[in-house]
């Protein structure tokens, strides 16, 4: 690997120092000490910082990465990666600075324009999902390309603690975003009025409040589940996803309290605030619940000046301490013990919550955690624990929404647990799973999870070859839950099941942004191949498809539809394999628009289309391709129409 230099940054001259050691003219390789002196551009990053003694045992090496990238990699004595400085485009200049914790990448500075200054900042894995953009490359984030609602509340708390108006302002819904929401003129005007003067009001709140200081730590996001304001509500033209009455739980000098955030609005991968935060010391009447979109009449969420009870403070402190120790749970047994301890704590926190909405929030978190732990094999008694929770709250007359939430995760945990048992009778397990799903739909037909249950039932019946039953369940998802995340998938699946013999309209965007349209290939037999680089089965099909293209071109062609999340992974594989046919790639993977258009449930899925653009096979296997392509080409040459199947 060639030596390459690290680009300089306006924020740190250490990049220049290391550059001198890494240029092609450098007399020696960079040292561990030089590499470890580099720091993230963004200051609030929790990454591995080895002590001097630990650093003495670290090593640095150059390495070629997949796709032709090169990197200097710093590892500790146990081989865990601490830093990786990467040249992604082969110009002998570092354009990515990656920082790790416990061997996992948690943050990355990115020079996306290769002009020797970082302009993007991304958090990964346990550090979150944030993706910031620095347009003028001064080291300060100018806008968010991606940020979750939890991270928005943490950013609001930091902005409040530092009285940083600019930091708060980049979280606020912009005028252009407001216009894109599709609200009715009256509703849009009301929201515009609410946003008016928000910068000045934040300055006033930040300068007057004393509850949130520079020592304040963000602990938890508190809010009920997000809701959809459906298109047509008060004249709106688009669905809108929002959180109402959001609260951030914080800690200052060992005391926990709450910061009222209010309403959050989703704009693509970014969540936005529409009001200034309020602290516990503010006037309770001003801090009371102020839901903007669907606040029920008379509902008040009071942020008490006294904050959580002493018992709640103690439990939250124990939870924070336990989560800090989670990285040490390296073995299966340690993971199981951590899960059990955390479940006990969260259940106690839910029981101690004075606000019913807080209790529901903690119960949902508990159910999600236990169900996920069962799937991972860390909580063998999790299904029974969820059933016991359900029975207890059912006896207490709990709200149907939380009962449905608990029951669905209980069924999911039971299914996952049954599949883990040795010598499992898969047919029996599957039958019980479907019975539970149908029972759930009967018991809770209006629950949010009913849409997912119906989608799972449709998928199971399709895989079993029971197409009419599958179409019925997919149709119910679309009819009963038209605004659910699975509705587009269900509609596409039904469309695909009915597609044989029909002319297919299909188009999408290539990684370069060009339109790939099936209609342009009329006169050819065409294969639409849904695939991904993470699917070994799909990659096994590639050699056979390449052979067919070589033998039957120009009368046979392929359109690939990549369901990879990374365009880079797609590009590297296409180049490596020499794939010549067009590829469609749009964000979302299995939930992307092209995947949902035909309800793709798994990869590989391949659809064969005849010369007239009609679907011949809606799920053809690679072993059948040669015979079917020859049949279609032969019947066409003989002047006979190919019979769709």
pLDDT tops 80 at residue 19? no
Q: What is the pLDDT of residues 190-213, one digit of tens each?
A: 888 888 888 888 988 888 888 899
**Lowest-confidence region among 141-150, 229-238, 341-350, 420-429:** 229-238
Residue with tokens 């709990």: 398
For range 520-546, the mean pLDDT = 94
Q: What is the pLDDT of residues 341-357, one digit of tens each?
A: 888 888 888 888 777 77
Enumerate the CATH 3.40.30.10 domain ranges in the chain, comma separated.
507-637
Q: What is the pLDDT of residues 586-606, one digit of tens each?
A: 988 888 899 999 999 989 999
For range 474-491, the mean pLDDT = 90
**Alpha helix (H) ranges present in 421-552?**
426-443, 448-463, 467-480, 487-497, 536-552
Domain 310-497 has CATH 1.25.40.10: yes
Q: What is the pLDDT of residue 105?
A: 93
Q: Which residues pair with 384 in a beta bridge?
A: none
For domain 507-637, give the fold.
Glutaredoxin (3.40.30)
Contacts of 123 (CB under 8 A, 6+ apart): 45, 106, 107, 129, 130, 131
Residues 309 and 470: their CA atoms lie apart, in Å, by: 51
pTM (two decimals): 0.55
pLDDT tops 90 at residue 20? no
Q: Provide the 8-state DSSP code for 398.
A: -
- Quote the mean pLDDT of the chain: 84
What is the pLDDT confidence band of residue 300, given thresholds at 50, 70 and 90?
very low
Exposure string for 419-439, b = 16+ CB within 10 A, e = fewer? eeeeeeeeeebbeebbebbee
Enumerate the CATH 1.25.40.10 domain ranges in the chain, comma separated.
310-497
Contacts of 31 (CB under 8 A, 6+ apart): 21, 60
């Amino acid at each position: 690997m060639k030596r390459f230099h690290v680009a300089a940054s306006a924020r740190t001259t250490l990049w220049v120092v290391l550059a001198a050691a890494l240029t092609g003219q450098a007399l020696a390789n960079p040292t561990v000490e030089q590499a470890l002196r580099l720091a993230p551009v963004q200051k609030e990053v929790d990454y591995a910082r080895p002590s001097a003694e630990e650093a003495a045992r670290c090593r640095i090496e150059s390495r070629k990465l997949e796709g032709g990238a090169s990197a200097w990699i710093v590892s500790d004595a146990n081989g865990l990666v601490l830093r990786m400085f990467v040249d992604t485009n082969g110009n002998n200049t570092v354009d990515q600075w990656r920082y790790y914790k416990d061997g996992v990448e948690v943050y990355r500075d990115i020079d996306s324009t290769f002009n020797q200054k970082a302009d993007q900042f991304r958090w990964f894995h346990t550090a979150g999902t944030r993706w910031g953009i620095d347009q003028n490359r001064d080291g300060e984030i100018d806008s968010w390309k991606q940020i979750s609602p939890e991270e928005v509340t943490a950013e609001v708390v930091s902005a409040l603690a530092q009285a940083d108006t600019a930091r708060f302002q980049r979280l606020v819904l912009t005028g252009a975003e407001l216009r894109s929401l599709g609200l009715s003129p009256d509703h849009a005007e009301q929201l515009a009025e609410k946003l008016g003067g928000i910068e000045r009001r934040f300055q006033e709140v930040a300068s007057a409040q004393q509850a949130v200081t520079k020592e304040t730590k963000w602990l938890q996001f508190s809010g009920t589940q997000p809701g959809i304001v459906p298109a047509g509500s008060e004249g709106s033209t688009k669905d809108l996803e929002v959180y109402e009455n959001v609260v951030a739980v914080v800690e200052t000098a060992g005391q926990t309290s709450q910061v009222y955030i209010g309403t959050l609005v989703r704009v693509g991968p970014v969540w936005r605030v529409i009001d200034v935060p309020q602290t516990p010391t503010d006037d309770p009447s001003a801090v009371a619940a102020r839901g903007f979109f669907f606040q029920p009449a008379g509902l008040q969420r009071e942020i008490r000046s006294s904050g959580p009870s002493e018992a709640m403070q103690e439990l939250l402190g124990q939870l924070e301490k336990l989560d800090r120790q989670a990285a040490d749970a390296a073995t299966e047994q340690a993971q199981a013990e951590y899960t059990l301890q955390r479940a006990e704590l969260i259940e106690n926190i839910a029981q101690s919550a004075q606000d019913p909405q807080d209790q529901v929030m903690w119960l949902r978190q508990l159910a999600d955690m236990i169900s996920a732990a069962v799937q991972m094999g860390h909580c063998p008694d999790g299904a029974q624990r969820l059933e016991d929770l359900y029975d207890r709250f059912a006896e207490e007359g709990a709200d149907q929404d939380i009962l449905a939430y608990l029951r669905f995760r209980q069924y999911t945990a039971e299914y996952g647990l049954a599949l883990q048992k040795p010598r499992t009778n898969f047919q029996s397990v599957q039958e019980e799973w479907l019975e539970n799903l149908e029972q759930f739909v009967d018991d809770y037909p209006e629950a949010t999870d009913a849409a997912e249950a119906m989608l799972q039932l449709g998928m199971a019946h399709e895989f079993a070859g029971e197409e009419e039953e599958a179409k019925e369940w997919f149709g119910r998802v679309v009819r009963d839950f038209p605004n659910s995340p699975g509705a587009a998938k269900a509609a596409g699946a039904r469309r695909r099941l009915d597609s044989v013999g029909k002319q297919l309209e299909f188009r999408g965007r290539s990684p370069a942004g060009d339109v790939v349209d099936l209609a342009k290939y009329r006169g050819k037999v065409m294969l639409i191949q849904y695939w991904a680089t993470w699917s070994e089965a799909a990659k096994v099909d590639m050699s056979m498809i390449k052979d067919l293209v070589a033998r039957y071109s120009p009368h046979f062609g392929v359109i690939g539809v990549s369901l990879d999340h990374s365009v880079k992974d797609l590009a590297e594989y296409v180049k490596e394999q020499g794939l010549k046919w067009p590829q469609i790639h749009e964000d979302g993977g299995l939930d992307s628009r092209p995947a949902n258009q035909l309800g793709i449930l798994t990869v590989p899925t391949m659809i064969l289309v005849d010369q007239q653009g009609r679907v011949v096979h809606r799920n053809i296997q690679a072993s059948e391709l040669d015979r079917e392509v020859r049949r279609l080409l032969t019947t066409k040459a003989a002047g006979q129409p190919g019979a769709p199947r």
